[in-house]
Chain A
Amino acid sequence: MAFPAVFEQPLGMRALANARRFGRWLTSPKVILGLVMLVMMIYLILVPLYRMFETTLTYQERDIHYEPDAVVGDFTFFHWTRMLTGQIAAVMTYAPLQHSLVTSAGATFLALVIGSALAWMTIRTDMPGRNIINTLATVPYIMPSWTIAMAWTVLFKNRTSGGSPGIYEYLLGVSPPDGLAYGPLPIIISSALHYYTFFFLFVSAALMSIDSNLEEAGELMGASRWRILRKITFPLVVPALLSGFIMTFSKVMGTFGGPNVLGIPVGYYTVSTMIRSNMGLGNYADGFVLAITLILFAMSTIYINQKVVGTRKSYETIGGRGFIASRTRLRNWKFILTASVIVFQIIVAIVPLALLTWDTFMLVDGDFGLSNFTLHYWIGESNPAISNGVPGVLRNPDIYKGAWNSIQLSLYTAFFTALLGILLGYAIAKGRGTRLSKLIEQLAFIPYVIPGIAFGAVYISMFAKSVGPIPALYGTFALLVVVSVAKHIPYSARTGVSAMLQVGRELEEAGEVANANAWERFRRIIFPLTSPGFVSGFLMTFITTMRELSLIILLVTPSTQVLASMTIRYLENDDTQMANAVIIILVALVLTGNFIITRFRGGSLKKGLGM
């Protein structure tokens, strides 16, 4: 088809027309916002990754110890060869890597079994008290990830690491073997008991969305219950399992608290604890090599998994549509299964807190007798004979400062995450199908697969020095907010996009036809319709930030301590009771927050995870 008009057009006029057209494109709100978001994603995600990579490939000041001829800032493979092939490689890289993979795989598998079983029992059986089980199942996830690890040590610690014995030894008089007290087994168990929630939530949602008709169709054709479960139900749940796998594996790979509490005493380092110890010694480049290794491993495991299961995009979770599902009758198993679930939930949700609380009442750690009871660690005045003169937590200004820091960090993070969610959601959803939108969406997904501690490491390299107008943020409270917001980007993008997509395109177009400008349309149409989603997202971010440790452990300084990092500091100073008291305060804050959420209309853990 020919368009003579176009060819007759003088050159200048055509250029003007194109310029006008480009100008309109560039000044349309979704494009402006999209470009701003793109720059932001590049700055918050790609640039830090690049800087980290760059650091590993240049000589650092301390390298002159090893290579006297080195010029600081010159290009080198020194760190990579040292960490991957040098004498220290086995201890510094390969052993921790192996430990990380073993504990992540073990914890993920155990979490899968626990989470799926609980989900199936609450959604698909006639077990009594399903609602309570359902509520309690998410409690371990709400608590800090290393709570169970700390409780474990109260129960099982032995004298390997020096110090005092646990309850096990006190009661039985025999020291528990190292394998039970420390190392991979307790790390796997304590991590699985925290992270099974992902599987529980994803599988519950998937089971809820399966139409019973699908199973009944199989039943009518004469398939046995087991066959139906295997051939119909299971394949439908596979995408949910995959989502759970990706989330859990990447989280455990990057988790710091558990391996720190349970691994370090016996020298069982994972990549995350090894990164921390390198960073602590100032070996930034070496730490970054480990962080990059960790990222690559986490990403490739997820990639392989996705390839194996197929091309379906299971990252997009299945929403529960609330079919009336037929429930399996447990009959004779009802009593025993219900009892086991109750016992399990008590062990996971209540016992750890009880143990930690008990521990804070012991004057001398390890003596569980009544004569040893004290309130010193809570309300005692400074006494040089106990804990180097640190006063009880309720009299300690450091604790109040830490708690205030925690609350502030969580509030700021929640606020900016929600704000970014709105903006990202708008930019991605309104630009659906354009390259700009796809690019933003893909960039926003990256933090999802970067393990927490590695993400923290990335930010050290980024903000150690001032870049252009941005000051060196290292050591500041602002950096903690920035890193927390950045790590939440995948969730904010997902919440934002799903909230925006719920608002039909026509609703905004109707405003456009009525001559409302972009700001008016946003303020009067889009924002009121999407805000409920962001409110629950806000509250959820508040909680997850409050108990986040892996992400910020490398970035806190004495003046920016938050409660989470203080527990680790007290632990490292051997003030176990102090550490446990801080955990109790932290849990109390988090549970209060969670209580507010559940009271709040429409808020829930599921929504906070963007489901």
Chain B
Amino acid sequence: METTNIIIKNLTKRFGQVAAVNNVTLTIEPGAFITLLGPSGCGKTTLLRCVAGLEEPDEGEILIGDKLVFSSRRGISLPAGQRNLGLVFQNYALWPHMTVYKNMTFALEIQKLAKAEMDQRVKESLAEVQMTGYAERYPREMSGGQQQRIALARMLAYRPKVFLMDEPLSNLDARLRMDMRAELKRLHHVAGATTIYVTHDQVEALTMSTQIAVMKEGVVQQMDTPDCVYHFPANLFVADFIGNPKVNLLEGVANGDGAVDLGNFKIQLAARTAPGQVVVAARPEDITIALAPEPGAVEFTAYSVLPAGADSTIVARRDQLELTVKVIGTSKIKMDDKVWLQFNPATLNLYDKTSGNLIHSKN
């Protein structure tokens, strides 16, 4: 299938005084799977709806391939149906009074396809989502997971150049969601269509996307590969939002010779930095924890120990300071044990306390 790029330039959409999408500029490569990730109310769904043509932005431009679908400057806004894109809704939006077949051929009838062609498309699309044989069912006769697959098949059937998905997995239970992630990723791999995917679930974003755009209050905070977003968050918001358990953010003073003073102990960095108020970010899995003193390790007390089979989370305290540490397997540490924490300079990110921006990343 031919794929297409999407360019969003200086896009702004206001609801009353609030800018739900605030001057967003994004370039999406052909065949990319880009996830708009952020907490509820960050503007991710609004941005998606602007691209879809269901919401008219106030400012900016949107190009899909070489087609200018929206431009405030020229007063252009193509209706959703003429943008050649498919949308999977959060609640599937299957028409309850139509069978699966009718749901899928609705758009094909408008394109005036021949009956044989339509049958062929329905058959292929149902096979792609492993729902062969369900064509005559009504939506209410199927489970949530099956409806989800049909919603996908309905989109596939009319072969849009761009797939848009608005939290398509959020109504499924945890187990089904896992399965569908794999299916969706495979589907994208096979179809190759440029995909914009909206979610508030960081695991979905990290596992499925080629690119993640993290949003907050209508502004894209960082757009990068999942790996970069996880390991080099551009600011404290992204660092804090991505990762489970959450990143440890330690406020302190950089003394100018490559160490940060946290008050009652110091953390050594991999490189020198300018002196000033900073925040050190340390992922829970990047801190090593031991039951015996080691050179350079800092003494803490195990406040709480949370084993979860494959890994364990330990909450450690030293005076007012609380840190989360994650270790593989079941930990031998018991509550109230004395523990020694070791920071690896190569894994630490350093942020400016005032601006919240990354000033120094682990290599």
**A contacts, CB < 8 Å to B:** 1, 3, 5-6, 9, 13-14, 16-21, 24, 504, 506-507, 509-517, 520, 524-525, 528-529
Kindly report which residue of chain B lies nearest to residue A528, judged by CB atoms: B97
- In the complex, what's the smallest C-beta–C-beta distance from B232 to chain A, in angstroms? 26
Does B10 reach chain A (CB closer than 8 Å)? Answer: yes
Query: Contacts A6-B59, A13-B73, A17-B75 given; 16 further ones with Cβ under 8 A?
Result: A3-B23, A16-B74, A20-B76, A21-B56, A506-B91, A509-B54, A509-B80, A509-B87, A509-B93, A510-B87, A510-B89, A511-B106, A516-B107, A517-B81, A528-B97, A529-B95
Of B52, B91, B97, B106, the contact of A504 (CB 8 Å cutoff): B91
Q: How far is the CA of A524 from the CA of B93 in the complex (A)?
A: 14
Known: A509-B80, A529-B97. A17 touches B74 (CB 8 A): yes
Cross-chain contact A529 with B87 (CB below 8 angstroms): no
Of A17, A506, A513, the contact of B81 (CB 8 Å cutoff): A513
- In the complex, what's the smallest C-beta–C-beta distance from B338 to chain A, in angstroms? 48
Kindly report which residue of chain B lies nearest to residue A23, judged by CB atoms: B75
Query: 8 Å CB contacts to A: which residues of B23-72?
Result: 23, 52-54, 56, 59, 71-72
Query: 8 Å CB contacts to A: which residues of B13-29?
Result: 22-23
Contacts of A514 in B (CB 8 A): 81, 106-107, 110, 158
Cross-chain contact A509 with B89 (CB below 8 angstroms): yes
Known: A13-B73, A510-B93. A515 touches B10 (CB 8 A): no
Cross-chain contact A9 with B107 (CB below 8 angstroms): no
Contacts of A529 in B (CB 8 A): 95-97
Which residue of B76, B82, B85, B95 has the most chain A CB atoms within 10 A of its CB atom? B95
Known: A6-B59, A510-B89, A529-B96. A17 touches B52 (CB 8 A): no
Contacts of A18 in B (CB 8 A): 75
How many contacts A-B (CB < 8 Å)? 91
Query: 8 Å CB contacts to A: which residues of B178-226?
Result: none
Does B86 reach chain A (CB closer than 8 Å)? Answer: yes
- In the complex, what's the smallest C-beta–C-beta distance from A22 to chain B, in angstroms? 9
A-B contact pairs, 22 of them (CB 8 A): A3-B12, A3-B23, A5-B10, A6-B59, A16-B74, A17-B72, A20-B75, A20-B76, A21-B56, A24-B56, A506-B90, A506-B93, A510-B93, A512-B53, A512-B79, A513-B52, A513-B54, A514-B81, A514-B106, A515-B81, A528-B97, A529-B97
Of B10, B77, B86, B96, the contact of A513 (CB 8 Å cutoff): B86
Contacts of B106 in A (CB 8 A): 511, 514, 516, 524
Contacts of A17 in B (CB 8 A): 71-75
Known: A21-B75, A511-B106, A513-B86. A504 touches B80 (CB 8 A): no
- In the complex, what's the smallest C-beta–C-beta distance from A518 to chain B, in angstroms? 10
Cross-chain contact A504 with B10 (CB below 8 angstroms): no
Of B22, B75, B158, the contact of A1 (CB 8 Å cutoff): B22
Contacts of B59 in A (CB 8 A): 3, 6
Size category of the B interface is: 35 or more
Q: How far is the CA of A293 from the CA of B176 in the complex (A)?
A: 66
Q: How far is the CA of A14 from the CA of B75 in the complex (A)?
A: 8
Known: A515-B81, A520-B110. A1 touches B23 (CB 8 A): yes
- In the complex, what's the smallest C-beta–C-beta distance from B327 to chain A, in angstroms? 44
Q: How far is the CA of A529 from the CA of B138 in the complex (A)?
A: 14
Does B354 reach chain A (CB closer than 8 Å)? Answer: no
Contacts of B111 in A (CB 8 A): 515
Kindly report which residue of chain B lies nearest to residue A9, judged by CB atoms: B73
Cross-chain contact B81 with A516 (CB below 8 angstroms): yes
Contacts of A1 in B (CB 8 A): 12, 22-23
- In the complex, what's the smallest C-beta–C-beta distance from A522 to chain B, in angstroms? 13
- In the complex, what's the smallest C-beta–C-beta distance from A174 to chain B, in angstroms? 67
- In the complex, what's the smallest C-beta–C-beta distance from B231 to chain A, in angstroms? 30
Kindly report which residue of chain A lies nearest to residue B83, judged by CB atoms: A513
Kindly report which residue of chain B lies nearest to residue A15, judged by CB atoms: B75
- In the complex, what's the smallest C-beta–C-beta distance from B23 to chain A, in angstroms? 5
Q: How far is the CA of A24 from the CA of B80 in the complex (A)?
A: 13
Cross-chain contact B10 with A512 (CB below 8 angstroms): no
Contacts of B79 in A (CB 8 A): 512, 515
Cross-chain contact B107 with A515 (CB below 8 angstroms): yes
Q: How far is the CA of A504 from the CA of B79 in the complex (A)?
A: 20
Cross-chain contact A16 with B107 (CB below 8 angstroms): no
Q: How far is the CA of A510 from the CA of B52 in the complex (A)?
A: 11
Of B12, B56, B110, the contact of A515 (CB 8 Å cutoff): B110
- In the complex, what's the smallest C-beta–C-beta distance from A9 to chain B, in angstroms? 6
Contacts of B22 in A (CB 8 A): 1
Contacts of A515 in B (CB 8 A): 79-82, 107, 110-111
Contacts of B54 in A (CB 8 A): 509, 512-513
Contacts of B73 in A (CB 8 A): 5-6, 9, 13-14, 17
Contacts of B75 in A (CB 8 A): 16-21
Contacts of A6 in B (CB 8 A): 59, 72-73
Cross-chain contact A513 with B74 (CB below 8 angstroms): no
Q: How far is the CA of A331 from the CA of B97 in the complex (A)?
A: 49
B216-250: CB near A (< 8 Å → 1, else 0) gives 00000000000000000000000000000000000
Contacts of A5 in B (CB 8 A): 10, 73
Q: How far is the CA of A513 from the CA of B54 in the complex (A)?
A: 8
Contacts of B76 in A (CB 8 A): 20
Q: How far is the CA of A76 from the CA of B342 in the complex (A)?
A: 95
Cross-chain contact B85 with A513 (CB below 8 angstroms): yes
Sorted from nearest, which 5 A-B pairs have the closest CB atoms?
A515-B81, A20-B75, A17-B75, A514-B107, A506-B93
Q: How far is the CA of A504 from the CA of B91 in the complex (A)?
A: 10
Q: How far is the CA of A515 from the CA of B109 in the complex (A)?
A: 10
- In the complex, what's the smallest C-beta–C-beta distance from B106 to chain A, in angstroms? 6
Kindly report which residue of chain B lies nearest to residue A4, judged by CB atoms: B10
Cross-chain contact B97 with A513 (CB below 8 angstroms): no
Cross-chain contact B10 with A3 (CB below 8 angstroms): yes
Contacts of B107 in A (CB 8 A): 513-516
Known: A512-B81, A514-B106, A520-B110. A506 touches B96 (CB 8 A): no
Kindly report which residue of chain B lies nearest to residue A516, judged by CB atoms: B110
Contacts of A520 in B (CB 8 A): 110
- In the complex, what's the smallest C-beta–C-beta distance from A434 to chain B, in angstroms? 12
Kindly report which residue of chain A lies nearest to residue B107, judged by CB atoms: A514
Kindly report which residue of chain A lies nearest to residue B19, judged by CB atoms: A1
Query: 8 Å CB contacts to A: which residues of B86-128?
Result: 86-87, 89-91, 93, 95-97, 106-107, 110-111
Contacts of B82 in A (CB 8 A): 515
Cross-chain contact B80 with A513 (CB below 8 angstroms): yes
Q: How far is the CA of A196 from the CA of B231 in the complex (A)?
A: 70
Q: How far is the CA of A13 from the CA of B91 in the complex (A)?
A: 41
Q: How far is the CA of A556 from the CA of B12 in the complex (A)?
A: 59
Contacts of B91 in A (CB 8 A): 504, 506
- In the complex, what's the smallest C-beta–C-beta distance from B196 to chain A, in angstroms? 13
Contacts of B72 in A (CB 8 A): 6, 17, 21
- In the complex, what's the smallest C-beta–C-beta distance from A17 to chain B, in angstroms? 3
Contacts of B96 in A (CB 8 A): 507, 529
Q: How far is the CA of A512 from the CA of B12 in the complex (A)?
A: 22
Q: How far is the CA of A44 from the CA of B53 in the complex (A)?
A: 36
Contacts of B86 in A (CB 8 A): 513
Kindly report which residue of chain A lies nearest to residue B96, judged by CB atoms: A529
Contacts of B10 in A (CB 8 A): 3, 5
Of B56, B74, B97, the contact of A13 (CB 8 Å cutoff): B74
Contacts of A19 in B (CB 8 A): 75
Q: How far is the CA of A3 from the CA of B82 in the complex (A)?
A: 28
Contacts of A516 in B (CB 8 A): 81, 106-107, 110
Which residue of A17, A515, A525, A528 has the most chain B CB atoms within 10 A of its CB atom? A515
